Amino acid sequence: MAVGEFLTRLFGLEGQTAVVIGGAGELGFALCSGLSQAGAHVVIADVNLQACQKRVRQIEEAGGRASPAEVDITSRASLESLLAEALKVSGRVEMLVNSAGINAGSPFLDVDPDFWDKIFAVNLKGMMEACQVFIAHMKEAGGGSILNIGSVNSHLPLSRVFAYAASKAGVVNLTKNIAQEFAASGIRCNAICPGFFPAEQNRKLLDAERVENIMRGTPMHRYGEPHELVGAALLLLSPQAGSYITGADYYVDGGFTCSWF
Ligand SMILES: NC(=O)c1ccc[n+]([C@@H]2O[C@H](COP(=O)([O-])OP(=O)(O)OC[C@H]3O[C@@H](n4cnc5c(N)ncnc54)[C@H](O)[C@@H]3O)[C@@H](O)[C@H]2O)c1
């Protein structure tokens, strides 16, 4: 078998539909691009519709297929509409990626309980509801694959991001719990836990002291590039390459979670 054919059989997503919530963001869009290049039609869903439309044009210019959809992951009705919209593509959604996320930092005694709720509403409760809505469809359709975006905070609580870190610990726990409940229904659920990839939601937190600590704690001594998440995402989402992988929390972090200095 030729190399191209072998890789296509393992990772090809031709004819499949992927919904990426938070798809207009920096990491979410890198995942949209990768899924599209592997052949999937990608529904780029985000609270920011204009950004989705811009991202769709980028995918189309690169020869891929995508459509924009406005969604607020904190609203059940909005998630139900997103599923209905995505089903218009081919009547089936094989993949869901949960990449919406927000962050804010402060010392513990200054943590605003209302903001804590807001972070949990997007990062964890919203993810849980998105999983409920799409799993109901996937179960009826005979299977599917979900990829949730955690963080190195899922494993290690980083200082000054209490709500974010706790929500991301919840993401891995939720992922594993969903994996065990729906394995028999042909639904796999995995998480990617990225290290440090400067983006809109975390750039303001990266002061000089934090950057120095991050670089010291990352054995590769550099930030990640969004496209470096794509290989792991295709492995976990692909029904061929990832067929026996569920409940995994896969760290793409330049070695951050294995270092101790
Ligand atoms: N960038 C990093 O270093 C890093 C590291 C670890 C984990 N993560 C996680 O990766 C994911 C993507 O983050 P990013 O770095 O690309 O940030 P980003 O800010 O570029 O993207 C986040 C996206 O989520 C969208 N969003 C926010 N609230 C929403 C809502 N209520 N409904 C729907 N969409 C909403 C935003 O509009 C944005 O497009 C997040 O879950 C984040 O926590 C990022």
Strand (E) or helix (H) holding 69: strand 65-70
Domain containing 219: what range?
17-39+48-258
**Ligand 1 atom at minimal distance to the Cα of residue 72:** 32
Quote the pTM value: 0.97
196 lines ligand 1 (CB under 6 A): yes
Q: How far is the CA of 200 from the centre of ligand 1 (A)?
A: 8
* Residue 132 placed within a domain: yes
**Taking residues 7-35, what's their average pLDDT?**
98
* Residue 10 placed within a domain: no
* Residue 156 placed within a domain: yes
* Residue 32 placed within a domain: yes
60 lines ligand 1 (CB under 6 A): no
Residue 100 to residue 122: CA distance in whole angstroms: 7
Q: How far is the CA of 187 from the centre of ligand 1 (A)?
A: 24
**Taking residues 60-73, what's their average pLDDT?**
98
User: What is the chain's mean pLDDT, rounded?
Assistant: 96
pLDDT confidence of residue 234: 98
Q: Is the pLDDT of residue 117 over 90?
A: yes
pLDDT confidence of residue 8: 97
Q: How far is the CA of 103 from the centre of ligand 1 (A)?
A: 8
CB 152 within 8 A of CB 169: no
Q: How far is the CA of 230 from the centre of ligand 1 (A)?
A: 16
* Residue 4 placed within a domain: no
pLDDT confidence of residue 261: 60
CATH number (domain holding residue 187): 3.40.50.720
26 lines ligand 1 (CB under 6 A): yes
Residue 199 to residue 201: CA distance in whole angstroms: 6
* Residue 9 placed within a domain: no
72 lines ligand 1 (CB under 6 A): yes
Please name the residue whose Cα sits nearest to atom 38 of ligand 1. 25
* Residue 12 placed within a domain: no
119 lines ligand 1 (CB under 6 A): no
* Domain count along the chain: 1
pLDDT confidence of residue 202: 82
H helix and E strand count, the chain: 9, 7
* Residue 11 placed within a domain: no
pLDDT band at 201, cuts 50/70/90?
A: confident
**Ligand 1 atom at minimal distance to the Cα of residue 74:** 31
Residues with catalytic roles: 164
Residue 227 to residue 120: CA distance in whole angstroms: 27
How does pLDDT run across 89-108, given as a tens digit for each residue?
Answer: 999 999 999 999 999 999 99
Residue 91 to residue 96: CA distance in whole angstroms: 14
**Strand-pair category, 17-21 with 41-46:** parallel
